[in-house]
Chains A and B, each alone.
Chain A
Amino acid sequence: MGRALLIALIGAAAFAVLPALLPSYYLGLVTKMMIFALFAMSLDLMVGYAGLASLGHAAFFGLGAYTVGLLIVRAHVSEWIAFPAGVLAATAGGALFAALALRARGSYLLMITLALAQVVWGIAFGWRTLTGGDDGLPGIPRPVYFISLAGETAFFYFVLLFTGISALLLAAIVRSPFGRALRGIRESETRMQALGFNVWRHQFTAFVIAAGFAGLAGCLYVYHNRFVSPDFLHVVVSAEALIMVILGGVGTLLGPAIGAALIIFLEDFISSQTQRWLLILGIIYVATTLYAPRGIIGLYKEYTARKKQR
């Protein structure tokens, strides 16, 4: 435990000095990485710990984002209300979706979550007068919470604060008895039921918590981009989050965060180098599935295990 704390402290210190070292564009890119790291970690709670595969996680990301965007652009509400309201809306959306979707398992759950998310996407896309349709909602200013977050550095610390705290909370959740119960359910629902655990209630709670953190990531992303568009809700974003989780290592929390950072970086870097970047990204995904099915963290663990054997 002491070692983990030390690593966390060193990590936090390393992040804290980044603004002094990086030019503004790369600082913005790291900010985006942190937001998606939070998003991927929230999905990992569902997929990796509760064993609930979802293809609709972008719905909560987008619900948070649209709530903030609509409240600020259409209702001119203070950012002190809009931001928590965004997280709340995503959490409420999570509760509703969980109530509807948790009757199914496996690929059926994938389909239901996908369908529900498409409904939300359809509303954002179709309700032109409210949501701006596929043009989205531009013109959302960066907020002022005691200090203005308009600058990249200030906003970086803002996101670092939220992502850091969320990461610690998520880590605490998966280590808690609740988190252990979730893993038990993932391995065998019937056995946990026989042991007296309320399986449905555990899964429901995990689903809602994951939705809340995804909503938080969505709220941060609105401020980062200063606009919302239906793309935030699109199934491609849900799928991308799943890839981040799988690439990093399912059920490790740290893995999905690394996976998110890596994918954001690769997309940005490779697409600037060549127009054939989609092909290269595809090859990387295929290679990961073939040679590192347990993700980057899995690869690292295998490596250390082999070293110990010697």
Chain B
Amino acid sequence: MANLAWLKPARNKRGATTLIAAALAAPLALAAADARAQQPPIKIGVIVPTSGTFTANGEDALAGMRMYFDEIGNEIAGRKIQLIVEDDQGKPDVGLTKARKLVESDKVQMLAGFVSSAVTLAVSEYARDKKIPMIINADGGANELTIPGPLFNPTLVRFSQNGRTPSAAAAAFIYKQGWRKVATITSDFAGGFDTIGGFAQAFCKLGGTITQEQYPPLTTNDYGPYITNLDRSAEAVVTFLPGAGGLRFVKQFVELGLKDKYPMMDIFGQAVYEPNLPQLGDAALGIYSTLHYTPMIKTPENERFVKAYVERNKRLPSDNGPDGWAGAKGIAEAAKAVGGKVEDTEKFIAAMKGVKFASAKGDLSVDKYGQVIQAMYVRRTEKAGNDYVNVPIASYENVDQFWPFSLEEFESYKYRYAELKGSTTNCAKVLEKK
């Protein structure tokens, strides 16, 4: 769900050169084959959008994956790694057709990538039937995929965030700041309800109250009415406005003179998404956001990652870059653990659920349901020289998918997030038990 929009031109000129290189290298490879018995390659089908709204996310994840596999020489346990990339256009039926092609025609041993949650949900059904390992490492935040229930997929591991954890982190941070009453403004679509529902549940549990909820359509051009309508008794404003919405909102929030009076928490960092920052300029300063990554994290792992990423791609990574990298590393570690026998789905997935490693995002491990356990960062937009950046000011380590709840407590609530639209101001209903 994070970081929508911003079309970037697709680029891939590798086709021809790879072919020539392959032709030249073929005799060499044959010679080398004598030394070691030739093993068939590990084929990974990567389904990401490389056209349409989510292009930037897909390309970042793919860049992260390629970076890791290049680091290890594109080989695991004596088997070459072969990536076959397909464009899902952000449409679930296209994604499914591509998954069928990859599995049935290209004979890939696993599927990876996935940005849009609709595509992820559609492919998950198919992958579960075919017992094909599915690695989500681009976005694909649908909560239900890793929670026991009808949509749960036992052969799936997600190395990117699920939908609700950045919301829970936002609630924890706001409460810690001493702000007890907040007003929310959320885009009117499925992802929006999941995000704000997750926030409401965590915030109510802590003892906070939502005094007002507003749902402007995704395509809103003028946020003026929503801003002037804002409940003045609120101590902070919580937003989830993907696409161009966040950008417009912040500009008008400043113009109407309210930004200095109300702290703003931007769940998932949609408004302060890095490509937006130059356009927002000083307007973005001081906005809080929560996400599982920011390029400004001060760890050796991240500094090395960011440097290599910028060298390769000539831009800063979004959260999808390290997600892609982490998924690739997860695949490699698990494949090593099973001696390269990735065809044994059960053992391979079991091994992947046991991986533990440090990454640009922080330390990662996987829970038994296949969701990565990782840090959540609270960031604040600041000025560094001439650039605007999201600086981490607080973090929550080892956040699992149900955090701050346990699975049992999480499942004991009566209403699912989407059902809470229109009643998040009523904490009694939000926290009603089954």
Residues of A with Cβ closer than 8 Å to B? 23-26, 28-29, 32, 125-126, 128-129, 132-136, 138-139, 221, 225-227, 229, 231-232, 267-268, 271-272, 274-278
Contact = CB atoms under 8 A, between A and B. Distances in A.
Is the contact region of chain A dominated by helix, strand, or loop, or is it mixed? helix
A225 B193 CA distance: 26
Interface of B: 10-12, 15, 50-51, 86-87, 89, 91-94, 96-97, 100-101, 103-105, 117-118, 121-122, 124-126, 142, 150-151, 188-191, 193, 418-419, 421
A227 B104 CA distance: 20
21 contacts: A23-B105, A29-B100, A32-B97, A129-B419, A132-B190, A133-B418, A135-B142, A136-B92, A138-B125, A138-B151, A139-B125, A226-B122, A229-B122, A231-B91, A268-B101, A271-B87, A271-B89, A274-B12, A275-B50, A276-B10, A278-B51
A25 B122 contact: no
A197 to B, nearest CB: 40
A271 B102 CA distance: 13
Contact of A136 (B103, B122, B421): B122
Contacts of B418: 128-129, 133
Contacts of A229: 91-93, 118, 122
Nearest to A142: B129
Max chain A Cβ within 10 angstroms of own Cβ: one of B15, B87, B96, B100: B100
Contacts of B103: 25
A109 to B, nearest CB: 25
A226 B104 CA distance: 17
Given A139-B125, A231-B92, A28 B87 contact: no
Nearest to B86: A272
Contact of B51 (A23, A226, A275): A275
Nearest to A29: B97
Given A129-B419, A138-B124, A229-B92, A272 B101 contact: yes
A96 B213 CA distance: 36
B39 to A, nearest CB: 24
Contacts of B11: 275
B195 to A, nearest CB: 12
Given A132-B190, A136-B118, A272-B86, A231 B93 contact: yes
Contacts of B117: 135
B93 A232 contact: yes
Contacts of B101: 25, 29, 268, 272
Among the interface residues B87, B92, B94, B104, which one has the most CB atoms of the partner chain A within 10 A? Answer: B92
Contacts of A134: 118, 189-191
B193 A133 contact: yes
A31 B96 CA distance: 14
A111 B133 CA distance: 45
Contact of B190 (A28, A133, A268): A133
Contact of A138 (B89, B100, B122, B419): B122
A135 B121 CA distance: 7
A226 B125 CA distance: 8
Nearest to A24: B104
A226 B126 contact: yes
A304 B11 CA distance: 43
Nearest to A150: B129
Contacts of B118: 134-136, 229, 231
A24 B100 CA distance: 9
A277 B12 CA distance: 12
A128 B193 contact: yes
Nearest to A267: B94
A225 B96 contact: yes
Nearest to A221: B93
A235 to B, nearest CB: 13
Contacts of A278: 51
Contact of A227 (B87, B94, B121): B121
B10 A227 contact: no
Contacts of B89: 271
Contacts of A129: 418-419
Contacts of A128: 190, 193, 418, 421
A225 B94 CA distance: 10
A3 B291 CA distance: 67
Interface centre among B93, B121, B125, by most chain A C-beta atoms within 10 angstroms, is B93
A114 B113 CA distance: 34
A114 B418 CA distance: 28
A190 to B, nearest CB: 42
Contacts of B124: 138
B121 to A, nearest CB: 4
Contacts of A139: 125, 150-151
Given A133-B189, A225-B96, A227-B122, A25 B50 contact: no
A138 B100 CA distance: 16
B416 to A, nearest CB: 8
Which of B12, B15, B87, B190 has the most C-beta atoms of chain A within 10 angstroms of its own C-beta? Answer: B190
- 10 tightest A-B CB contacts, nearest first: A133-B190, A25-B104, A275-B10, A25-B105, A128-B418, A138-B121, A229-B92, A134-B190, A24-B104, A275-B12
A69 to B, nearest CB: 12
Contacts of A25: 100-101, 103-105
Contact of B97 (A133, A227, A268): A268
A203 to B, nearest CB: 31
Given A136-B121, A225-B93, A28 B100 contact: yes
A229 B96 CA distance: 12
A24 B105 CA distance: 8
A305 B176 CA distance: 81
B151 A274 contact: no
Contacts of A32: 97
A139 B121 CA distance: 9
B64 to A, nearest CB: 18
Contacts of B94: 267
A138 B126 CA distance: 10
Nearest to B102: A25
